[in-house]
Amino acid sequence: MRYINKDFFQEITEAIKRNRSRSILTGFGVFWGIFMLLLLMGGGDGMKRAITSEIKDFATNSGIIAAGTTSKPYKGFESGRSWSLDLNDVERIKKSVPGVKVAAPMVSVMSNAVTFKEKKTSCNCHGCLPIYSKVLTPKIMYGRYINEQDIRQDRKVCVIGKKIYKELFEEGTDPCGEFICVDGVNYKVIGVDYSTSAISFDGKSEETVTIPITVAQKIYNRGNVVDMICITAREGVKIKDLLERVKTTVFRAHYIDPDDNQAFISVNMEMIFSIIDSLLKGVNFLIWIIGLGTIFAAAIGVSNIMMVAVKERTTEIGIRRAIGATPNMITFQVIMESILLTIISGLIGIVTSVGILALIDMANPDDSFQVSFGSAMIVLCILLTLGVLAGLAPARRAMEIKPVDAMRED
């Protein structure tokens, strides 16, 4: 480090000033590369967090089944027959398919209106068992979720979604104990669910009124029928294999051809989550490729500018060599000049991108688009490395300059 002193940095600063226009142009290239990389990283991370927050409450090892219409005749029954799942199917699945961890039936009633005093809003209503919370985890802000006592006693109680709560009640007040009216039936509010999962089967969770499934079956005259059954798999069991075994079990009870795929509607949530995860990884990889490509292009520009600067300073370098400067001193100065130019431009790019991402955060308080400190440090290390690499070729060119040749060229 004997080459570094006050005069050394002064020489580098003066060299950059002498090539001000080229330095600004080259610095802008580095700035733009860092700016775009961090902006893309912040946007990508924000998108990832937004998507993750929308699906985090839903069980990833899950699937949904529903009844369709038969397309094949079977055991005296004609094709085109409609059939329905029922609560007995839930018990069959639990007993006959050992890989099932949770089997949660649901009765769905669409296009309802909910009122509280003089206030009114639209909603979706569904009936379910307490075990459904193992499939889609509720975020209870007030009160509680439906429990076994509500099911056994057929209590007319409900859990309301976030949007319904905000439209019917003053925010900050506890609505538990109040009565709301859905389709002419009064329900006592026992909880408020603040989950905002993007995955739903009968409307958004924030617009849903959840009631005990036994109450829904009686009020809407559904008998023992359910609209769908949500299942989760035990550890080590694939949902794809589980759905096939569930299909066989249910078809056997309802006299449906085992090969009639049209009669069985199923959704493999495990596969959907896998696709989303792969998509996010692909977006992240693409962001790094684009950002690093831009930075590398800027580094090549720095190297080219430094080569031109070395050529223009041939005489100066020759004189310094003649009065005692060693090749290592010349090399070190050129590399440090390259690093300084790269680092300064890069730091401006980092500060600018972080500032813009902070403004985006302020405009979107529910999402975070900031880059992590670790990511910023990685980018800074890349900058330092590129600064060194960009200065190697010009430094070698400067080291090869001989004092006699420099004087002759002048």
- 186-232 pLDDT tens trace: 999 999 998 876 666 666 788 889 999 999 999 988 888 999 999 99
The residues facing 255 across adjacent strands are: none
Segment 294-311 mean pLDDT: 74
Cα 223 from chain centre: 41
Query: Which range in 146-150, 232-236, 300-304 is most confidently predicted, on average pLDDT?
Result: 146-150
pLDDT-wise least confident of 69-83, 90-104, 242-256, 281-295: 281-295
Phi, psi (degrees; rounded to nearest 5) at 387? -60, -40
**Cβ atoms < 10 Å from Cβ of 204:** 17
**Quick one: average pLDDT of 288-301?**
78
d(CA 245, CA 261): 13
C-beta separation of 38 from 379 below 8 A: yes
Q: Examine the pLDDT at 178 and tell me if it is beyond 90.
A: yes
- CA distances 71 to 89, 147, 261, Å, are 21, 39, 8
C-alpha–C-alpha distance, residues 177 and 116, integer Å? 12
SS3 80: coil
Structural contact between residues 306 and 339, judged by C-beta atoms closer than 8 angstroms: no
Query: CB of 239 within 8 A of CB of 272?
Result: no
Query: In the prediction, which pLDDT does 6 show?
Result: 44
Question: Can you count the helices (H) and strands (E) in the chain?
Answer: 12, 12
Spatial contact of 191 and 125, defined as CB atoms under 8 Å apart: no
Q: Using the structure block, give the residue that is written with the tokens 């009065």.
A: 323
CA-to-CA distance for 287 and 58, rounded, in angstroms?
28
Mean pLDDT of the chain: 80
pLDDT for 275 equals 82
Q: What pLDDT does residue 285 have? A: 84
Mean pLDDT on 161-166: 92
Residue 120 pairs in a beta bridge with 115
Mean pLDDT comparison of 38-52, 120-134, 277-291, highest-scoring range: 120-134
Q: What are the two backbone dihedrals, phi and then psi, of residue 266, each rounded to the nearest 5 degrees?
A: -140, 150
pLDDT digits (tens, 9 = 90+) for 13-46: 555 555 555 566 666 777 777 777 788 877 777 7
Q: How many residues does this entry show for the chain?
A: 410
